[in-house]
Structure 1
Amino acid sequence: MPHDTPTLPDWFDRRPLDQWLRQRGHVAFADSVVETCARRLHQPTNGDLKRWVAALDDLPSRQSRQLDYSDGRVRVVGPAVDPATLRETLMRFHPWRKGPFEFLGLPIDTEWRSDWKWDRIAQAVDLNQKSVLDVGCGNGYYGWRMLGAGASMVMGLDPILRFLMQFEVFDRYQTGPRRNFVMPMIDTDLPQKLTAFDVVFSAGVLYHRTSPIDHLRSLAGALVPGGKLVLETLIIQDDGPRVLVPEDRYAQMRNVWFIPSLEMLFRWLRRTGFEGIETVDVTPTEATEQRSTEWMTFQSLADFLDPDDSSKTIEGYPGPVRATVVASRKEAE
């Protein structure tokens, strides 16, 4: 590591992941991960980050408490504390977008019912004893569900530090070997031919990329030959090879670039080294699945749809429909 690279903070302990990468021969990537994370976490002027780190210290002690994800829920269990004080501490990490979670009996009703999405895609691929890369992982909710489904290790990438700190809220109560990790990274931080993971997940990322082809190439490069991709993305419902390119915003999101039809998505996947492509699920996103709550008090999907026709966005585009597809990286190029 260059001598001027900042060191990792004490609260950010990823030694088990570092060891896993090095034992499998990915030494250069392991070095790059340390350097990248150290630089992104070295933000002395970031007041939010300082406040979040301080909030971690105000959480209940680890004694007699542990993280449990064995029954389809992600929750911290153990002796209860004053719920009002606990809620105040957890709200310092607001907004909570992916979940739901539960903390010592206190439900965290997140913006997204991510458990609904998980139920739709959980049977898409066998995770038993598989290593997983989760690109755009948010606060690590899906990583815990993946471990519950038998994954041996999950490396999640997400650049938003608030989500990283929400992950830390729950990770500190993990007992036994640590096998789920959220890293302040994005797919462009991956080497072109990493060839490290059995399964790669990309959910809600593709349409945010200015180059969807480059994103798919990075996912293919992260997989071992024959490894599985689980891709979830916005689509347009069109029988032909079509792509929607919003003029400005889509459902009030500025960073939406390309929304393909399924036929076009399959073409992109074939062009980037995938085969055996199958559609697992196609579901319109409704305001019961993504909504404002006490734990995410900002505007949400209902505010971004046409008030007179909920099948359209407020800009007049077709309303959000999400598809999940699975594909395999070709054994040989």
Structure 2
Amino acid sequence: MASFDWQTHFNPVLDYLRQAGREQWAGLLRQQLIQKFEERPHGDLPRWLGALDQLPAITGVEADLNASAVTLNTTRDLPEKDRTELEAGLRGLMPWRKGPFDFFGTHIDTEWRSDWKWDRVAPHLANLAGRTILDVGCGSGYHCWRMAGAGAARVIGIDPGLLFLFQFLAVKGYLGEVPVDLLPVRMEDLPDQLELFDTTFSMGVLYHRRSPLDHLLELKGTLRRGGELVLETLVVDGPEGYSLMPEDRYGQMRNVWFLPSCPTLLRWLDRTGFRNARVVDVSDTSTDEQRSTDWMRFNSLKDFLDPHDPSKTIEGYPGPKRATIIAEKP
């Protein structure tokens, strides 16, 4: 089995955590990485490493992290051989779900138009310049790069999906030592009460948690006093106190537990100790925002909606509506 030199990729962030006085997290993370890459490596690791290795070496790289597609450019023309190898390597990391990305003219049309979500959220954020940010459930790191483009001093994304890590490394491999990292761990793998981050994002995670209040408390523990939480989740219409718990699946997803109304969600935030919580956006998710593409060829949102009434899921529940809430830790 091919080996992954995880220390080369993760030692800089481990050093950062030690310097920030978070030796406990650094030690715990190191053991988690040893287990993930040495003791129990994923069976697809050789394929992903092969795809990453196929990406050609390119010099003179410049990045545009403020465009809709996270974009890598080069000051020289790529020979056809490099373009062929580039696309083959990137296709070896399919499916691409969060994005879009543009690698030197090779455009990756991801399943999700994650730039639409960013455009909805960004106008309501505190100035991210100089801030230390945690992105929970970050996928391939698309929003991490947008946060860096907004001037964040350090961005750490966490997501247990290993394919996401290698998609992230496809970008970072061309950018070198930048203060953006993706850790292949879950929220519950972090130590309690880190109090390290100025801003914590949790977008598209809350409804996957059996205990949403515990997730809110975990998020609060990551923040410094006065820190900002950016929470985006599925919601339903209804009064305070109302929350939908699907009988089995929601939009063909088994791991959906609670879809609160916006007033209920605000009450949850108040009860878990957040202050100044406000709903800044509510948007229906459309089949233009989430769909199958040539870079993600599996079923997508249109396959999960009632074909006779697309305002409902295939199970008959209200169709996906997402709210963004911003709150502070006192």
Name the TM-score class by shorter chain. over 0.9
- Pair 1:23-2:19 in alignment: yes
- Pair 1:246-2:241 in alignment: no
Amino acid at match of 1:142: H
> Percent sequence identity over matched residues?
49
1:130 CA drift (Å): 0.4
Q: Is the Cα–Cα contact under 8 Å of residues 60 and 81 in structure 1 kept in the other structure?
A: no
Structure 1 counterpart SS, 2:24: helix
When residues 194 and 45 of structure 1 are mapped into structure 2, their CA distance, relative to the original with a 3 A threshold, is: closer
1:270 CA drift (Å): 1.1
Q: Is the Cα–Cα contact under 8 Å of residues 8 and 38 in structure 1 kept in the other structure?
A: no
- Pair 1:80-2:78 in alignment: yes
1:70 CA drift (Å): 4.4
When residues 50 and 44 of structure 1 are mapped into structure 2, their CA distance, relative to the original with a 3 A threshold, is: farther
Amino acid at match of 1:57: D
Q: Is the Cα–Cα contact under 8 Å of residues 203 and 233 in structure 1 kept in the other structure?
A: yes
Report the Cα distance in structure 2 between the residues aligned to 1:9 and 1:266, rounded to whole angstroms. 44
Q: Is the Cα–Cα contact under 8 Å of residues 124 and 230 in structure 1 kept in the other structure?
A: no
When residues 132 and 220 of structure 1 are mapped into structure 2, their CA distance, relative to the original with a 3 A threshold, is: same
Amino acid at match of 1:86: L
TM-score of the pair, normalised by structure 2? 0.94
The residue number in structure 2 matching 1:295 is 295
Report the Cα distance in structure 2 between the residues aligned to 1:8 and 1:215, rounded to whole angstroms. 31
1:45 CA drift (Å): 5.8
The residue number in structure 2 matching 1:279 is 279
Task: Say what the alpha-carbon RMSD is for the aligned residues.
Answer: 1.7
1:192 CA drift (Å): 1.7
- Pair 1:150-2:151 in alignment: yes
- Pair 1:160-2:158 in alignment: no
Amino acid at match of 2:304: F
Q: Unaligned regions of 5+ residues in structure 1, if any?
A: 1-6
When residues 136 and 246 of structure 1 are mapped into structure 2, their CA distance, relative to the original with a 3 A threshold, is: same
Report the Cα distance in structure 2 between the residues aligned to 1:153 and 1:325, rounded to whole angstroms. 23
Amino acid at match of 2:78: A
Amino acid at match of 1:15: N
Instruction: Pick the aligned partner of 1:63 from 59, 65, 74.
Output: 59
1:46 CA drift (Å): 3.0
Q: Is the Cα–Cα contact under 8 Å of residues 6 and 37 in structure 2 kept in the other structure?
A: no
The residue number in structure 2 matching 1:186 is 186
Q: Is the Cα–Cα contact under 8 Å of residues 281 and 325 in structure 1 kept in the other structure?
A: yes
CA-to-aligned-CA distance 1:75-120 (integer Å, 9 cap, x gap) = 2212424344432221111100000000110110000000000000
When residues 11 and 51 of structure 1 are mapped into structure 2, their CA distance, relative to the original with a 3 A threshold, is: farther
Structure 1 counterpart SS, 2:112: coil
Report the Cα distance in structure 2 between the residues aligned to 1:189 and 1:47, rounded to whole angstroms. 22
Structure 1 counterpart SS, 2:254: coil
Q: Unaligned regions of 5+ residues in structure 2, if any?
A: none
When residues 150 and 309 of structure 1 are mapped into structure 2, their CA distance, relative to the original with a 3 A threshold, is: same
The residue number in structure 2 matching 1:228 is 228
The residue number in structure 1 matching 2:139 is 138
Structure 1 counterpart SS, 2:99: coil
CA-to-aligned-CA distance 1:270-325 (integer Å, 9 cap, x gap) = 11120100111000000000000000000000000000111000000000000000
The residue number in structure 1 matching 2:308 is 308
TM-score of the pair, normalised by structure 1? 0.93
1:163 CA drift (Å): 0.5
Report the Cα distance in structure 2 between the residues aligned to 1:225 and 1:139, rounded to whole angstroms. 29
1:190 CA drift (Å): 1.7
The residue number in structure 2 matching 1:215 is 215
Q: Is the Cα–Cα contact under 8 Å of residues 67 and 171 in structure 1 kept in the other structure?
A: no
Structure 2 counterpart SS, 1:238: coil
1:239 CA drift (Å): 2.7
When residues 300 and 217 of structure 1 are mapped into structure 2, their CA distance, relative to the original with a 3 A threshold, is: same
Report the Cα distance in structure 2 between the residues aligned to 1:42 and 1:301, rounded to whole angstroms. 37
Amino acid at match of 2:277: I
The residue number in structure 1 matching 2:121 is 121
Report the Cα distance in structure 2 between the residues aligned to 1:11 and 1:20, rounded to whole angstroms. 14
CA-to-aligned-CA distance 1:191-221 (integer Å, 9 cap, x gap) = 2211100000000000001111111111000
Report the Cα distance in structure 1 between the residues aligned to 2:42 and 2:266, rounded to whole angstroms. 42
Q: How many residues align?
A: 323
